[in-house]
Structure 1
Amino acid sequence: MTGVHVAAVSELPVDEQAEPTRAERIEALRRRIAAVPARGEVSRPAPAPDAAQGPPERLLPLPRPLAELLPHGGLVRGTVVSVSGATSLLLGMLASVTAGGGHAAVIGHRRLGLLAAAEMGARLCRLAVIPDPGPDPVAIAAVLLDGMDLVVLGLGGASVPPSRARAVAARARSKGAVLVVTDGRWDGVQVRLEAQVNGYDGLAGPGRGRLCGTRLSVRAHGRACPPRTTRADVCATRGEVTWASDRRVRPEIVSEPDRVTL
């Protein structure tokens, strides 16, 4: 997979005379959202072959190995999901959602690999990137939930107070969007997804110096998901990146302590 990172493709408008206030930033975002076609106003192309999705009115699609890991076979609209670990996990989400006709926004990820996302099948015309959201990225995410199917929020190591997290989660439910939080603490998420790189497959050819596959171990757990793990191969072949399962989903078994008979 490529390691090239592309610069931001979208930034907030900045007044040349003075730094915009928080209210001005939010109003500018509202104007941008108003210009985005509403869900269903544009025809949706068929999802990528490796994307498994449930009913479109309820779920957002995911690469098949990830979809098989979750109880409902995709990201349930109106929920908050935590993602950590290998970046391929986040890129795969963005690729599946935008390839399926959805709109996504990424907040606070300055080094997002847009080229890698495009190789996975992401439609960059349906992806908004706000690399530098200012001092209050949560407020920007709350606004974008009104016009996006998927909003990825990088917290930069911050911890969101439970009362505010509940308010934003309620907004996600009312708007039917999925909020994905990374790099920080957010209490009350429905599902936590953790990805770890287990290894890499060889080079695509002599002297090319390019990896052709990454082996991942992905774990899902949370209030809406019993602990389960799976392994997936993210493979680069013929100019595109695909996901493939190499093992079945395995539920985690919690052993009970040995009983002592008196």
Structure 2
Amino acid sequence: MGSNALPPEPGTREHTLDELRRRMAAVPGRGASVAGHMPREQPFRRDLLPVPPPLAALLPDGGLPKGAVVAYSGAHSLLTGLLAAVTANGGHAAVVGLPRLGLLAAAEMGAELSRLAVIPDPGSDPAEVAAVLLDGLDLVVLGLDGFAVPPARCRVLAARARNRGTTLVVAGGEWADPTLRLDSRVTGYRGLGPGRGRLRSVCLDVRVSAKAGQSRHGHMDLCAKAGRTEWLPRETLSRTAEGTALREAVS
């Protein structure tokens, strides 16, 4: 751009992209402050992004590969868990085109909101906004709102994510040839009484499909406890519930 060129008009697509690039330039180097935020459950690896512990047991390498494209469908709870795991461990993440994704829920899962950028309305081309964000973040979650990305563009964005080492998670649309597919669905709730009572946990079924190898299927629970939200394998919660019932029965 020449020295006499005018800056893009505010509110235009070009202005939005220029503003995103400016913010990306101010993001600290990746991993600069990871050491002080190591999760107790999962050691940090340079080639993988951390995930909620029950999901790690289903993934082929125990985390999301950096530079991969993950096609996601199902409950937003697991998406929020991914964002929380990455930002709590010192990573930077962004959410594009998912205005209903709850920041309060992310904070209760341990997310560091100062490391999370949210673009609820990316305009008519959310994939282009995501492409800019791939340049400097660890995780980008892109909501497609039912849109099918053409295969040729999928290949271009996948190559960009791979070259930048940024994991791209695409949700609510169609994406050709992703590295992984994650599907989750809510199968039940615990703690609700007839007309009263508190919601103590949400039960999820999760399936992980990779390009090579068999699909893996597991169950996990999102549990509320003292203002925090924890991820537990289904069997862990079952043992806890049984122990509580036994103590109540003998007391």
Aligned to 1:39: 30
Aligned to 2:96: 107
Instruction: Name the CA distance, whole Å, in 1 between partners of 2:161 and 2:234.
Output: 34
Q: By how many angstroms is 1:88 displaced?
A: 1.1
Any conservation in 1 of the 2:34–2:89 contact (CA below 8 Å)?
no
Structure 2 residue corresponding to 1:148, chosen from 122, 129, 137? 137
Q: TM-score, normalised by structure 1?
A: 0.82
Any conservation in 2 of the 1:103–1:150 contact (CA below 8 Å)?
yes
Residues 5-26 of structure 1, C-alpha deviation per residue, up to 9 Å, x if partnerless? xxxxxxxxxxxx9663322221
Percent identity of paired positions between Structure 1 and Structure 2: 54
Aligned to 1:78: 67
In the alignment, residue 21 of structure 1 is paired with which amino acid? T
Aligned to 1:159: 148
Instruction: Name the CA distance, whole Å, in 2 between partners of 1:224 and 1:190.
Output: 9
Any conservation in 2 of the 1:199–1:215 contact (CA below 8 Å)?
yes
Q: By how many angstroms is 1:224 displaced?
A: 4.6
Aligned to 1:214: 202
Residues 193-222 of structure 1, C-alpha deviation per residue, up to 9 Å, x if partnerless? 111111111059x96x53110111100113
Instruction: Name the CA distance, whole Å, in 2 between partners of 1:53 and 1:226.
Output: 25
Any conservation in 2 of the 1:104–1:127 contact (CA below 8 Å)?
yes
Aligned to 1:129: 118
Any conservation in 1 of the 2:31–2:91 contact (CA below 8 Å)?
no
Long gaps (5+) in structure 1: 1-16, 249-262
- Secondary structure of the residue that 2:214 maps to in structure 1? strand
- Secondary structure of the residue that 2:87 maps to in structure 1? helix
RMSD between superposed Cα atoms in Å: 2.1
Instruction: Name the CA distance, whole Å, in 2 between partners of 1:44 and 1:53.
Output: 11
Q: By how many angstroms is 1:141 displaced?
A: 0.4
Q: By how many angstroms is 1:58 displaced?
A: 0.1
Instruction: Name the CA distance, whole Å, in 2 between partners of 1:214 and 1:66.
Output: 15
Any conservation in 2 of the 1:54–1:72 contact (CA below 8 Å)?
no
Instruction: Name the CA distance, whole Å, in 2 between partners of 1:144 and 1:152.
Output: 10
Residues 99-129 of structure 1, C-alpha deviation per residue, up to 9 Å, x if partnerless? 1110000000111111011001111010000
Aligned to 1:241: 229
Aligned to 1:66: 55
Instruction: Name the CA distance, whole Å, in 2 between partners of 1:19 and 1:46.
Output: 38
Aligned to 1:25: 16
Aligned to 1:118: 107
- Secondary structure of the residue that 1:110 maps to in structure 2? coil
In the alignment, residue 63 of structure 2 is paired with which amino acid? G
| 1:230 aligns to 2:205 (yes or no) | no
The aligned runs of 1:47-66 (5 Å cut-off) are: 47-50=38-41, 52-53=42-43, 55=45, 57-66=46-55
Long gaps (5+) in structure 2: 1-7, 237-251
Any conservation in 2 of the 1:53–1:62 contact (CA below 8 Å)?
no
Instruction: Name the CA distance, whole Å, in 2 between partners of 1:53 and 1:110.
Output: 31
Instruction: Name the CA distance, whole Å, in 1 between partners of 2:60 and 2:135.
Output: 26
Any conservation in 2 of the 1:230–1:247 contact (CA below 8 Å)?
no
Q: By how many angstroms is 1:83 displaced?
A: 1.3
Instruction: Name the CA distance, whole Å, in 2 between partners of 1:47 and 1:211.
Output: 30
- Secondary structure of the residue that 2:230 maps to in structure 1? strand
In the alignment, residue 199 of structure 2 is paired with which amino acid? L
In the alignment, residue 137 of structure 2 is paired with which amino acid? M
Q: By how many angstroms is 1:86 displaced?
A: 1.2
Aligned to 1:169: 158
